[in-house]
Structure 1
Amino acid sequence: MIEIYSYLIDNIFQFLGVVLSIVYVVFSIKQNILCWAALFAASLCNIFAYNQINLPLQVSMQFFFIGTAFYGWYQWKNTKNNLPLKVSKWTIRQHLFWLLFGFIFTLILSLFLKKLNISSYPFLDSLMFTFNLIPMYMTGKKIIESWLYFIAIDIISGIFYLNTGEYFFSFLFFCYIGFATYGFLTWKKDLT
């Protein structure tokens, strides 16, 4: 019991970040604008958590998520004719562009991190960074396929964190797989 308590204390920011991240995704599925406030708070906690485990791009990503929280709030609040932003789809061409961009950007970032020797896992840090940014941007625009992108990166992230002993983050990303599946099915009902 003392070991669990000690683990929780040592990883308090990771624990709080996980709880707030779950609040974010649940509110996001429900298309509740408060999801963006939860993302903001989760990202603040996760800055410290990712810094503890030496994943600099994950730290940087949290700053992006803070910006995304403001962007998402604005997008969902300020719509044409005061109508709520509708769920929509991307074309195949848009997906191909973003996937190609994502893979190229991942390789460039990975080489950069490797050269500077500032990440314990340069390729995976780069991959998780890039392929979390793309669907987060899509979520701000209510693009339904964002959930499918999240499922793919959540599988990779969950396994990565399990293998590195970051159990709170591993738990979060395995939960995200279920949430993302549910989010996709829920948003599909609202697809225009």
Structure 2
Amino acid sequence: MQALLDAIAGGVIALSTWEAAAVILGIAYLLLAMRQSLWCWYAAFGSTAIYLWVFWEVNLLMESVLQLYYLAMAVYGWQQWRGGGRPAGNDMAGEVPEQTLAISSWRMRSHLYAVGAVLVISAVSGALLARYTEAALPYLDSFTTWGSILTTWMVARKILENWLYWLVIDSAAIYLYLERGLLLTAGLFMIYLVIVIFGYLQWQKHYRAQFA
């Protein structure tokens, strides 16, 4: 019995250590994204790689699968921010500017389509998970997953309103992680809520400056 308890304690410590590393990289990602720094995607890749394992260990299946998408989007986002929107043949002395993709904003119709699609897909996948798997909180897990898929793409394309979407998704995710005992990750998302507000204000300032 003691050996079993020691093994469980060791597993919890190992999980918490990796979770802490993912949290640090996650904070770095958001702070760098707020500054529109290309380095945010390196931090995102590292944090995502760790969370892929962490979420699988606590049976958050959709969140774990989501990390595979995040890995791909870290590469895509890096490519878009590094070269997206740059006119061909416009490089100076072979240099590639770090920031070439302008911030853009969606019209209300685009938001209605996006939110509606996320809710419908979340309901369908949540029902499938509830029936065929032992996934924890399948509907909420599905909502945060599909919402994150959309919003991460919005970040990669520098859509201004991505920060407002993150406010909703991160708030829902806090409950999800607390319920599964991922206290450090829940704390990370509480910090995210604060950073997201400043991120939106800073991007909004840059967005308006583009038309000044």
Same fold per TM (> 0.5)? yes
TM-score band, normalised by shorter chain: over 0.9
Asked if residue 125 in structure 1 is aligned to residue 132 in structure 2, the reply is no
Is contact 1:20–1:42 with CA below 8 Å preserved after alignment?
yes
Task: Provide the residue aligned with 1:167 in structure 2.
Answer: 183
Task: Provide the residue aligned with 2:93 in structure 1.
Answer: none
Identity of aligned residues (%): 26
Asked if residue 156 in structure 1 is aligned to residue 172 in structure 2, the reply is yes
Whole-angstrom CA distance in 1 between matches of 2:134 and 2:117: 23
> Following TM superposition, by how much is the alpha carbon of 1:6 offset from its aligned partner in structure 2, in angstroms?
8.2
Distance 1:129 1:32, change over 3 A: same
Task: Provide the residue aligned with 1:37 in structure 2.
Answer: 42
Q: How does 1:1-192 map to 2 (within 5 A)?
A: 8-78=13-83, 79-81=85-87, 84-191=100-207, 192=210
Is contact 2:141–2:176 with CA below 8 Å preserved after alignment?
no
Whole-angstrom CA distance in 2 between matches of 1:7 and 1:67: 29
Runs ≥4 in structure 1, deviation > 4 angstroms? 4-8
> Following TM superposition, by how much is the alpha carbon of 1:7 offset from its aligned partner in structure 2, in angstroms?
5.0
Whole-angstrom CA distance in 2 between matches of 1:6 and 1:75: 39
Describe the SS at the equivalent of 1:190: helix
Is contact 2:22–2:47 with CA below 8 Å preserved after alignment?
yes
> Following TM superposition, by how much is the alpha carbon of 1:164 offset from its aligned partner in structure 2, in angstroms?
3.2
Which has the greater radius of gyration?
A: 2
TM-score by length of 2: 0.84
Distance 1:133 1:172, change over 3 A: same
Whole-angstrom CA distance in 2 between matches of 1:10 and 1:69: 23
- TM-align CA RMSD: 1.7
> Following TM superposition, by how much is the alpha carbon of 1:165 offset from its aligned partner in structure 2, in angstroms?
2.3
**Residues 35-75 of structure 1, C-alpha deviation per residue, up to 9 Å, x if partnerless?**
11111111100011101110111111101000101110111
Whole-angstrom CA distance in 2 between matches of 1:164 and 1:60: 17
Task: Provide the residue aligned with 2:96 in structure 1.
Answer: none
**Residues 96-118 of structure 1, C-alpha deviation per residue, up to 9 Å, x if partnerless?**
11101000010111011112123
**Residues 88-146 of structure 1, C-alpha deviation per residue, up to 9 Å, x if partnerless?**
10011110111010000101110111121231211111011011111111000101100
Is contact 1:56–1:118 with CA below 8 Å preserved after alignment?
no
5+ long unaligned stretches in structure 1:
none
Is contact 2:137–2:176 with CA below 8 Å preserved after alignment?
no
Is contact 2:49–2:67 with CA below 8 Å preserved after alignment?
yes
